[in-house]
C-alpha cells in the first residue's frame, strides 16, 4: 500500500490531470490519495480543478481519498460567510477565482462593494463546490505520516492544534526542529523554507521529520506528488514536462528509519 500526497494545486487543472495520470495509484490495492488543500486561486482553471477533484472523490471509496482545507479555501469561505476582505487582496489570487466563476473581472469598484461581490459569487458558485469547501478536514493521518496544509505546533498532534496553526502558520521551529511522526505539509513554497532542508533539483524540503511539498507557483514550478513510504516523487510542469525521482540519499535518519520500519525492511 502507498499514500500519494499532492501539494498546493491553485487551479492548475491541466497539470493536476497529467500528474494524476502519472501515478501508479490503485485504490483496489489499498492506496490512498491526499491533497493538501489550496485548490483555488491564482491558476488558469479553478472551477474545472474543483469539478475534477469532486468527481474523483465521488468515484473512489471514502477511505481512498482525502482533500484537506487550505488557507485559500478558508479565505473564500470567510469572504462568503462574513464579508472578510482578505480574499479580495490582489496578492491572494482570489480575483482569478471570482472571475472564472462569475465571468466578470473583479474591478476596484467591485472590491469596495463587498455585499454585491458576495452575492454575485454566491449566484455563480455551484452549490456542490461550496459544500465541498465547507466539508474539508484540517488534517489526515495514516500509518506513514501526518498530513496538514501549513504545519504543526512542534510539540502537538494536529488534533491539539488550533485551525490557524494548521492552515496558516509558518513556524520556523516546526520547519527546523520537528522530530515527531513524519509530517507532510504544503502552504509555504519550498524555496522560502530554511536553506538547509531544501533538496535542490527536486524542489522538496526535508528536515528531520518535516517534509514540505509546495514546490511553488510560477511558469517554471512543478506540481508535486510524494509517494510514501517509498519517497518517490512525481512532478508535472506548465510546459508539459514531467519528472520522476526516487528520494534516497537525502533522507535524514529519522525518516529513513521510519520508512524501513513501515516497509518491513
| Domains of the chain, start order | 3-38+56-70+138-263 (3.60.21.10), 71-135 (no CATH)
* pLDDT score of 98 more than 60: yes
Give the Cβ contact number of residue 172 at 10 Å.
12
When pLDDT is cut at 50, 70 and 90, the band that residue 264 belongs to is low
Q: What are phi and psi of 148, to 5 degrees?
A: -140, 165
54/15 Cα distance (integer angstroms):
17
Q: Cα torsion at 87, 88, 90, 96 (round to 10°)?
A: 80
Summarize the confidence of residues 114-139 as an average pLDDT.
97
* pLDDT score of 169 more than 90: yes
* pLDDT score of 265 more than 60: no
Summarize the confidence of residues 154-175 as an average pLDDT.
95
Q: Which long-range contacts (CB under 8 A, 24 or more apart) does 122-126 make?
A: 122/80, 125/80, 125/101, 126/47
Mutual angle of helices 46-59 and 94-102, in 10-degree steps? 80
pTM exceeding 0.85: yes
Q: At 259, list the grid cell.
A: 520508512
* Three-state DSSP state, 117: helix
Strand partners, 149: none
Which tens digit of pLDDT belongs to each residue from 199-253?
A: 877 899 999 999 999 999 988 899 999 999 999 999 999 999 999 999 887 788 7
Amino acid at each position: 500500500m502507498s499514500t500519494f500526497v499532492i501539494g498546493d494545486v491553485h487551479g492548475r487543472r491541466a497539470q493536476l490531470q497529467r500528474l494524476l495520470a502519472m501515478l501508479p495509484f490503485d485504490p483496489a490495492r489499498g492506496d490512498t490519495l491526499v491533497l493538501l488543500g489550496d485548490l483555488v486561486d491564482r491558476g488558469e482553471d479553478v472551477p474545472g480543478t474543483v469539478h475534477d477533484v469532486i468527481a474523483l472523490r465521488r468515484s473512489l471509496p471514502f477511505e481512498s481519498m482525502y482533500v484537506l482545507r487550505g488557507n485559500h479555501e478558508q479565505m473564500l469561505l470567510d469572504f462568503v460567510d462574513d464579508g472578510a476582505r482578505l480574499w479580495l487582496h490582489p496578492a491572494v489570487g482570489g480575483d482569478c477565482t471570482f472571475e472564472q466563476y462569475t465571468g466578470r473581472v473583479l474591478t476596484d469598484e467591485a472590491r469596495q462593494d463587498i455585499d454585491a461581490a458576495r452575492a454575485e459569487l454566491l449566484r455563480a458558485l455551484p452549490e456542490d463546490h461550496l459544500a465541498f469547501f465547507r466539508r474539508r478536514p484540517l488534517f489526515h493521518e495514516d500509518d506513514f505520516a501526518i498530513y496538514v496544509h501549513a504545519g504543526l505546533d512542534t510539540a502537538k498532534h494536529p488534533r491539539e492544534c488550533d485551525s490557524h496553526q494548521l492552515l496558516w502558520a509558518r513556524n520556523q521551529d516546526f520547519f527546523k526542529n520537528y522530530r515527531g511522526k513524519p509530517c507532510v505539509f504544503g502552504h509555504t513554497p519550498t524555496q522560502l523554507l530554511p536553506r538547509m532542508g531544501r533538496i535542490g533539483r527536486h524542489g522538496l524540503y526535508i528536515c528531520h521529520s518535516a517534509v514540505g511539498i509546495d514546490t511553488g507557483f510560477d511558469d517554471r514550478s512543478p506540481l508535486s506528488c510524494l509517494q510514501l513510504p517509498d519517497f518517490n516523487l512525481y512532478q508535472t510542469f506548465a510546459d508539459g514536462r514531467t519528472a520522476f525521482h526516487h528520494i534516497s540519499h537525502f533522507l535524514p535518519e529519522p525518516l529513513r528509519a521510519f520508512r524501513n520500519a513501515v516497509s518491513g525492511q
